[in-house]
Amino acid sequence: MIICLTSMKMNPGKRDRFIEAALICAEATRQEPGCIEYDYMLSPEDPDGVLVVERWESLDKALAHMQTEHFKVLGKTTHVTAAEFEVNLYDATPSHALDHIFPSGVKLHM
């Protein structure tokens, strides 16, 4: 599984414009093959902060997402609305190394 975390700082007063475009992208993205999760989170402390949380079945699926029209449209909006952003990709290949710590029946995603 691939996890992508994108933290963004919007230009002052631009977050609502970004969110409007992001909601359109999110609806389409959640229908893509391999998309497990695609969510936007707003900072309660920073009116210009946004965090995007994505989980994909594979790197190929995550990279294919970046070629879609809805992603490209959101990218154009992001470049106008965001003052800065940072993208972090993580390979979260499942492991059973901690099974002895958690009781059976607990669904542990790693």
- Residue 32 tokens read as 């893509």
Average pLDDT of the chain is 90
Per-residue confidence (pLDDT) for residue 22, from 0 to 100: 96
Identify which of 89, 90, 94 has the alpha carbon closest to the alpha carbon of residue 108.
Answer: 94
Band of the pLDDT at 39, cuts 50, 70, 90?
very high
CB 39 within 8 A of CB 52: yes
Give the pLDDT score at 93.
75
In the chain, the domains with their CATH numbers are 2-91 (3.30.70.100)
Question: What confidence tens digit (pLDDT) does each residue in 62-100 have?
Answer: 999 999 999 999 999 999 999 999 999 999 876 666 666
Q: What does the alpha-carbon distance between residue 36 and residue 26 come to, in Å, rounded to a whole number? A: 12
d(CA 38, CA 8): 15
Rounded to an integer, the average pLDDT of 32-48 is 95
